[in-house]
Amino acid sequence: MPESAAPRWHARFMLGLLLAPALLWLGALIVAPHLDLAVLSLRERVGPRQYAASLAQYRTFFADPLYWHVFVRTAWMSVVATLLTLLLAFPIAWVIAKLARGRAGSLLFIVCLIPFWVSETVRTLGWMILLRESGVLPGLLVRLGITDMPVELLYHDATILVGLVYTSLLFMVVPLISSLESLDNSLIEAAYDLGAGGFTILRSIVIPHAAPGITAGCIVVFMLTLGNYLTPTLLGGKNSEWFTEQIYNQFIVRFNWEQGAAFGFLLLGLSTAMVMAGLRLTGQRFGDVMRRT
Amino acid sequence: MSTPDLVADAVVKRFGEHVAVDSLSFAVERGSFFSILGPSGCGKTTLLRMIAGFIAPDAGDIAIGGGSMRGVAPNRRPVNMVFQQLALFPMMSVGENVAFGLARRGIARAERRRRSEAMLERVGLGGAAHKRVDELSGGQRQRVAIARSLVLEPTLLLLDEPLGALDLKLREHMKIELKQLQAAFGTTFVYITHDQSEALVLSDHVGVMSHGRFEQLGTPQDLYYRPQTPFVAAFVGANNRVVGRATARDGASIEVTTADGWVIRAIHHAAGAIAVGDPVEAFVRPEVASLGRSEAQLPAGQPPHAGEVLSVLFDGANSAVLLQESRSRREFRIALPQTGQFSDLKPQERILFSFDPARAVCFPARAQAAGADA
């Protein structure tokens, strides 16, 4: 109808205007640099300021077992960190969403939030002060007579995991709380009334209901962990062998941007593949997960 | 008579200072439909949750099917509950919902399927087993919720205002369906509601609850025709409440005179003595009173009263006229006869009315009667 044509055009224009900042941000800061990186990763330096298209950067990755090893290790450690975060966050989210009433719930949530008032660097340095050989925790262990000499608690895989879980906890707790809060308590009571025990209720009622929240939390935490640089580098030292460190080395230390760009794309591919595999495994769709949380 | 399916013995539940259930004792016969009727906050939900086992009584005992339920968890009780919001599991199909309890009892998959499908058939939902819960209408969900409980063949089925979420038309329909289901299965139903019409239509026995106690426990007819307390008279069915003092007494017949000098007669049959001069509350049901344009039109032998029409409340078979009694300026509701007589009444019209004093009831006034609403 002619009357509605103008308002519809107007509405579209307004929608475009509202979306403009987000689209600009997405285009200028994410799509454009990635296109540039893609071009960069697919060329090879053949002479001073001379480049040719080539797959050499990717070939290097598959040829050198060190890169492979670090790549797989990063993926594996990230999966472990994500699962540990989930195990730790679930009871916290349950308490906040279901058991704590009124102010106690928000207070607990603030307790989870407080570490994030401090920058990640300072937080990680805090862990170092606690865990290094001359630090607080080894000293305490000696004083309690558990160890004879101060032990170095830094630079272990477990240390890296502790740091990663600590950094990621909030990002798991938030989607879990929102998905658990929407679970009607009477469903739990009904299951209990029909003869189910705690474990069955968890398995057949709570987890299926919270699945989108669990998946969303896992995706966010996995991506954050996989792409984390500071925590593994500081807490793991030279034992960290984290893939982001390899990317950093290529770009900054070796000034080999082509190789770094290729590594960056491999990491992007890895995180995409892992997320897709996770969704497939739990039978969920990405859109549903993002909508439900 | 066999042992009752449910026996409550001096059950008490307190929340802080507040006594939610106050030393309540009653028994529910096997196969009967028992309702607990009361306004919100009277403790009926607390009582139901104690029977289901979600909360433990502070004192007293609840026995189900002859066995004490002290320390028995909800998932071990021979009781199932239909929740107010039904609480069907949205992550499961209709069939899985019904089979859920059977699976918890370790019944094999094929048998579970057979029994749940047979149960769905019985509640008129044959072939719906594969459907999702959100594909069903409100009434169908109701039936799934009942089927999910009844498939476990509980000694007792508890229903927590299950019709509250439905619209009026469906509620009327489900009322009849519930009664038929209960008759067909023969399971003992314990039903809680604040809707007196649900309680009256459905139940064999009703306990009217107020402030954690049963005001009266009896058949719907008892509650309606022979209320034992002013609360029951006011809560069950419509009633005109007249507050005054006893000015004369002739056996059970009491003469009640209001502060402004209106005199009526009513029968005192409940507990508590009434002496001349005592404050009393009398109740006259709208359908007990008759209208007349002249004294000759009123039933013979009934003392006449006069009033002025305030408004005609047309509601089909439940139509009534709201009068203002001439002497006391008190509102008085009278049912309009089904014959269509008096349907031409106009506001401000003066009219006579009368009622049989034997069908009006009178109680000693409650302590805080002046403040309580009828």
Per CB-CB distance under 8 Å, the chain A contacts of B141 are none
The conformation of residue B359, written as its DSSP 8-state character, comes to: G
Residue B299, pLDDT > 70, answer: yes
Q: What confidence tens digit (pLDDT) does each residue in B89-140 have? A: 999 999 999 999 999 999 999 999 999 999 999 988 988 999 999 999 988 9
Query: What confidence score (pLDDT) does residue B68 get?
Result: 93
The answer to whether the beta carbons of residues B284 and B240 sit under 8 Å apart is yes
Query: What confidence score (pLDDT) does residue B79 get?
Result: 94
Q: A108: distance to nearest CA of chain B, Å? A: 25
Domain A65-292 class in CATH: mainly alpha
The answer to ipTM > 0.85 is no
Cα-based distances in Å from B97 to A211, B88, B91, B93? 19, 7, 9, 6
For residue A161, which of A227, A225, A72 has the smallest C-alpha distance? Answer: A225
Cα-based distances in Å from B330 to B214, B218, B369? 30, 31, 16
Phi, psi dihedrals of residue B355, rounded to the nearest 5°: -150, 160
The answer to whether the beta carbons of residues B208 and B236 sit under 8 Å apart is yes
Extract the tokens encoding B36: 């607990």
User: H helices of chain B, where?
Assistant: 44-52, 94-104, 109-122, 138-150, 168-185, 196-202, 220-225, 230-235
| Domain chopping of chain A, boundaries | 65-292
- Give the mean pLDDT of B12-22: 93
Per CB-CB distance under 8 Å, the chain A contacts of B75 are 192-197
Query: What confidence score (pLDDT) does residue A1 get?
Result: 46
Query: What confidence score (pLDDT) does residue B269 get?
Result: 85
Query: What confidence score (pLDDT) does residue A114 get?
Result: 87
Q: Is B229 on the interface with A (CB under 8 A)?
A: no
Phi, psi dihedrals of residue A110, rounded to the nearest 5°: -65, -35
Query: What confidence score (pLDDT) does residue A5 get?
Result: 61
For residue B38, which of B213, B222, B219 has the smallest C-alpha distance? Answer: B213
Q: Is A196 on the interface with B (CB under 8 A)?
A: yes
Per CB-CB distance under 8 Å, the chain A contacts of B85 are 184, 186
From chain B residues 82-101, the ones with a CB under 8 A of any chain A CB are 83-85, 87-92, 100-101
Per CB-CB distance under 8 Å, the chain A contacts of B149 are 194
Per CB-CB distance under 8 Å, the chain B contacts of A200 are 104
Between chains, do B100 and A196 touch, taking CB under 8 Å as contact? Answer: yes
Query: What confidence score (pLDDT) does residue A159 get?
Result: 93
Q: Which residues of chain A have pLDDT under 70?
A: 1-6, 291-293
d(CA B351, CA B332): 12
* Confidence (pTM): 0.82
The answer to whether the beta carbons of residues B99 and B116 sit under 8 Å apart is yes
Between chains, do A190 and B81 touch, taking CB under 8 Å as contact? Answer: yes
Q: Is A206 on the interface with B (CB under 8 A)?
A: no
Extract the tokens encoding B151: 């498939």
Between chains, do A191 and B100 touch, taking CB under 8 Å as contact? Answer: yes
d(CA B144, CA B147): 5
Reported in sequence order, the residue ranges of chain B that DSSP labels E, i.e. its strands, are 6-15, 18-28, 33-37, 59-64, 67-68, 79-82, 156-160, 188-193, 205-210, 213-218, 240-250, 253-257, 263-267, 279-284, 289-292, 304-313, 320-325, 331-335, 350-355, 361-364
Cβ-nearest to B101 among A186, A189, A195: A195
The answer to whether the beta carbons of residues A129 and A234 sit under 8 Å apart is no
- Could you tell me how many CB contacts below 8 A there are between chain A and chain B? 59
Between chains, do B74 and A193 touch, taking CB under 8 Å as contact? Answer: yes
Q: What is the mean pLDDT of chain B?
A: 91
Is residue A218 within a helix (H) or strand (E), and if so which, with residue range? helix A207-226
Query: What confidence score (pLDDT) does residue B37 get?
Result: 95
* Cα torsion angle, B209, B214, B218, B221, sign: negative
Cβ-nearest to B104 among A186, A189, A195: A195
Q: Is A204 on the interface with B (CB under 8 A)?
A: yes
Question: What is the number of alpha carbons within 13 Å of residue B162 lying toward its C-beta?
Answer: 29
Q: Is B176 on the interface with A (CB under 8 A)?
A: no
Cα-based distances in Å from B188 to B156, B181, B249? 5, 11, 44
* CA angle, residues B186, B187, B192, in degrees to nearest 5: 125
Domains of chain B (ranges; CATH) run 6-230 (3.40.50.300), 238-364 (2.40.50.100)
Between chains, do B104 and A196 touch, taking CB under 8 Å as contact? Answer: yes
Between chains, do B75 and A196 touch, taking CB under 8 Å as contact? Answer: yes
Residue B84, pLDDT > 50, answer: yes
Question: What is the number of alpha carbons within 13 Å of residue B268 lying toward its C-beta?
Answer: 24
Per CB-CB distance under 8 Å, the chain A contacts of B79 are 193
Residues in contact with B122: Cβ distance below 8 Å, sequence separation at least 6, in sequence order: B147, B184
Extract the tokens encoding B320: 């009534």
Phi, psi dihedrals of residue B332, rounded to the nearest 5°: -145, 130
Q: Is B52 on the interface with A (CB under 8 A)?
A: yes
**Confidence category of residue B308, pLDDT binned at 50, 70, 90:** very high
Q: B92: distance to nearest CA of chain A, Å? A: 9
Q: Is A184 on the interface with B (CB under 8 A)?
A: yes
Q: What confidence tens digit (pLDDT) does each residue in B253-294 have? A: 999 999 999 999 999 988 778 889 999 999 999 999 999 999
**Confidence category of residue B368, pLDDT binned at 50, 70, 90:** low
Residue B372, pLDDT > 60, answer: no
Per CB-CB distance under 8 Å, the chain A contacts of B147 are none
Residue predicted with more confidence, B166 or B87? B87
Per CB-CB distance under 8 Å, the chain B contacts of A191 are 89, 100
Query: What confidence score (pLDDT) does residue A293 get?
Result: 56
For residue B148, which of B100, B85, B113 has the smallest C-alpha distance? Answer: B100
The conformation of residue A48, written as its DSSP 8-state character, comes to: T
